[in-house]
Amino acid sequence: MIKQRICIVGDGLSGLMTAVILSKVSGLEVNLIAKKCIKNADKRTTAISDTNYKFITQNIKSFGKKLFWPSKKIKLFYETSKENINFLNLNEANSNLMYVFENDKIKKVLLKEISKNKIKLIRKDLKNLDELKNYDLIILCIGGQSNIYNSITKIRSIRKDYKEIAITGYVKHNFKKLDTSQFFLKEGPLAILPFSKNYFSFVWSVKKYFFENNSKKIKTLVKNKLAENLKNKQDITINNIQSYPISLSLRRQYHQKNVLILGEGLHTIHPVAGQGFNLVLRDIKKLEEIIRYYVCLGISIKNSYALNDFYNNRKPENTIMSLGVDATHSFFKQNKYLDPFKEIIVKNIKNNETLKKFSKIISNRGLSL
């Protein structure tokens, strides 16, 4: 049996995960192309749902439990002029709502898996897709800004510049207890993500002008904001502070011929709900299922409807979830005319058990109910 050749371009989390997952499909030869320069360690954390955690750990056995920090509780707060309203508490008694991992540690495991699974790693700076014409399937996981996409997507994407900056970092602490939390503050949403006993990461999304006006004292501002909202005066140590612009980008065209866009190049959303990489993992899972189906039938991926099947299956959820996150972000933005009505709404959410149940299902499984 002649193996079908697949090429994944990009060695970020999406590219590495896609390469390892697809290498498990019998009948495929998987190559990974990455830039010659070695990137610095990715000192960020990522949150994934329970179903996505089970998907990757079942497929990649070398992912030990110590790499993932589970959360059974998630608390949501809305800041008013008088107080922070704790308007929603999500709890699970017998399972976990989410898991948080450190990106650089997961990448190290994936790189070892690539070597172990005999995935050919090619270090080169890709100029254009003509260099990859001998592959049956080309998967681009090269972020959202590459000019290579211009030769694939002819339909205009959905784009929105939030004019916001996400500030991220690690925090060392000695708190006795710390739950995963989301604070909707007047400056912008602040997420608290514990990833070990004495460490948590944060993502604080603020207006671009606020960030620029306070760039020289960001660390102090973050420290004070954390102390204020966590109601804990213990000293904390903040490191690995990074920042990046936030935007919404949704491709309307996923593929052309045998070239598929995946990862942040396909959809980039606001971090407020922590759903970005969850969507990517659901994409990878569905792509693996579709490719396995065609390979088992002995059908050439290059001449099949595989990518069209992927597009039809994944585009509805990716679009609805991304625009839903955008609507959530818009709702919680400060507005002096609407804020009094928001207070009434969020206070009524707290006792709505149906909404709690629905929120947990959507966060865990997406729209694949």
Q: What is the pLDDT of residue 36?
A: 78
Q: What is the pLDDT of residue 38?
A: 65
Rounded CA-CA distance 187/312 in Å is 38
- The C-alpha R_g of the chain, in whole angstroms, comes to 21
Q: What are the domain boundaries of the chain?
A: 4-365
Q: Which residues of the chain have pLDDT under 70?
A: 1, 38-39, 369
Q: Side chain identity at 356, as an amino acid letter?
A: K
Tokens 């189906």 sit at which residue?
Answer: 293
The matching CATH number, chosen from 3.40.50.2000, 3.30.360.10, 3.50.50.60, 3.40.50.880, for 4-365 is 3.50.50.60
CB 283 within 8 A of CB 254: no
- Tell me the DSSP string of 122-189: EE-----GGGGTT-SEEEE-S-S--GGGGGT--SPPEEEEEEEEEEEEEEE---S---EEEEE-SS-E
Q: Which pLDDT tens digit goes with each residue over 246-285?
A: 999 999 999 999 999 999 999 999 999 899 999 999 999 9
- Tell me the DSSP string of 201-226: EEEEEEEHHHHHHTGGGHHHHHHHHH
Q: Which pLDDT tens digit goes with each residue over 75-97?
A: 999 999 888 999 999 988 888 99
